[in-house]
Structure 1
Amino acid sequence: MHSPLTRHGPFPSRRTARLGVLLLGTAALAACSGPLDLDLRGRMGGTVDTAGAAVSATETRPAPDARGVLSYPNYQVVVARRGDTVGEVASRIGLNADELARYNGMSASDPLRGGEVLALPSRVAEPSPATGAASTGPIRPAGQIDISTLASGAIARAPETAATPAPSPQGGSGVEPIRHQVRRGETAFTIARLYNVSPSALAQWNGLDANFTVREGQFLLIPVTVQSAAAPVVSETRVPTPGTGSPTPLPPSATTPLPAAVPPPVRTAEAPTPAPAASTTTTAAAPTPAAAPAPKPEIGPVTKPATTSSAAMTMPVQGSIIREYARGRNDGIDIAAPAGTAVKAAASGSVAAITTNTDGIPIVVIKHPDNLLTVYTHLDGLSVKKGDAVSRGQTIGKVRAGDPARVHFEVRDGFDSVDPMAYLR
């Protein structure tokens, strides 16, 4: 005979307990908003735990301009409004509707969700206050130099009369997101896991629907994680799992750089190395020939004898300085020289930009190590192009005819102008 407690007592049967757990779990799921990341690897007692990837903190997507355009140095996207079609977006930003649709694997008549992102096949006009943006130009990492902005304002600071101050850096500040093109078989969950971001953040950045639907060929912006734009990550001390042993500590040499090697002493003319003693069996020693002087670099015609200089830079052209550096009024120096005189690169570097002002006067910007830039204006007959590597003293153009004929020369530490004479002396 069964005990009354077996079937009718206060303890429920196992089937009833399982049903209660299921109902409780269903209620918990119903209380959650948004789709769920069902990746449970590492949550059931295993050693691989990907739970952290689903909760990685991400930045908020930057706000587009009034057209919906978000601009980065390497690409642009447009954010659709509620009720837009691909064709309407193309018309608003000035692109061909069929080209925009084909680039995103869609048709021109396809409807779009509010916040949905389309990749642009070619660049359109940069966001600016005129298009409803807070600043002009693409979004760049903080501190990155916008060479084009610098060059376009250089000529305005060169006239003989007082000029306006140099423009401040343009464009918003932020990290350029990775742009991922969806491949066959990929889902929002697998893509989010690939980049260690949450599916919800991926959906918010790209305007995905409630089911996180993606299509083959679609371009997705990968949310920028807070760590990528924040301070360096502090190392965390982890307690090893019992039975796995203790981690071997890193030796100091693995975390602390070795001391800099001490260079050998330089032999100078004042302290020559003593000559070895002559052999006792030799009646006369042959005289040692004098050392040939080191060749001097060829820097082109000059108006005065060349002298040895330890200056960091060389004068771009030989002549009289007719206007000196005055921060905020003349951010460089003006050097008078006959029209057609060769203009030299002040130091080795690479040509970062070549542009012209509204009068068609060329402006050349050369980038050097340690974030230094040199700017040359009032040139003609350029012999270099953007991207070229140039060496110190290499001819980059000729002095443009003018009244007076001159070269305007600037040295900049990032965006800050500095007195060129500090580098030329």
Structure 2
Amino acid sequence: MTSASRPMTALALVALLSACSDGLDFDLRGGIGGGVDTTDAALKATTARPEPDNRGIISYPSYQVAVAQRGDTLADVAARIGLPADELGRYNGIRPNDPLRRGEIIALPRRVAEPSPATGATTTGPIRPPSSVDVTTLASNAIDGAPDTSRRSADPQTGVEPVRHKVARGETAFTIARLYNVSPRALSEWNGLDRDFAIREGQYLLIPVAKPTEPRSSAPATTPPGSGSPTPVPPSAAAPLPAETPKPRGTADPTPKPEEPVADIGQNKAKAKGSMTMPVSGSIIREYNPGSNPGIDISASPGTPVSAAAAGSVISVSKKTNGSSFIIVRHPDNVNTVYLNVADISVNVGDSVSRGQQIARVAPGEVGFLHFEVRQGLDSADPMSYLR
């Protein structure tokens, strides 16, 4: 066991010993100091990972992954899906003869044949959101491909494409789960991690997808046993009292005191909208669109310094699957800013940054730009409402 894995083993042991307790804080967010307890967020319900086809392929519109079977090596997976073992190994940072855990996710460097009824899938093609599926086409395919009309064909798999995260140096399953607001247990189940939640640098992880929000029940709220019942509101208190006692007639308002200036040390920069500064100076070449673009693209020459839009702490320095580097900075009130298409990164995870501090430069490319996002938790927001 390496020294880096010992803290992870201890955390896993605590989780296992406490697994029978309701409300378990799997990543111990509520017990390591600080006034914020995010246990509920850590325990947020997630959907089950989609079932792969007979080859082990799970296909999404943007990428494909393979799921290892019991006793597989990387070479076994490569032979089953039709890719060179050396290429697959380099992409995932493992050797062809390395053994894999059952259910372990292997990212594919390029697409292979789509799942189809011939490979054990219900329909042909990648998993898509339910809203984009043509019900008539699916019904026709199910009827045409059914070998036995007396048996009901299975429903096709639909769902949201999950984020595919590449593990950076120093990250753990717990820090990644905290970053994406999911539980380490769900992260482990989706990616076939071992009992120690061990991960490796360069490994690709699928981030579990949250279950759709269920409508609120109209049933009256209940309280836990032993906590007592809420005190009913008496009829006399049905109407709220006035906000302040009325002043006697003829009394003049006192002259208001001028507000004393408060030193600006960056403690409330990200709390109010309109309190951030542009990370680079340039025109907006692609505007925010929740359906297609979760941020804005700002024109800037390659090498232009990129500054933090507000004071905060760096929580991620990593790369997307296409190799593009990005930085995530956390601010007060669960606001995060994302800086994509950057190079020459000058900050590390855990660093505190001030508004306007240089954190990177715009990456080289034919068209120089910075992609900038503002997120309230995991939900994207229009950056222009936060920028001055």
State TM-score, norm by structure 2. 0.44
Higher Rg of the two aligned structures: 1
TM-score computed with the length of structure 1 as normaliser: 0.40
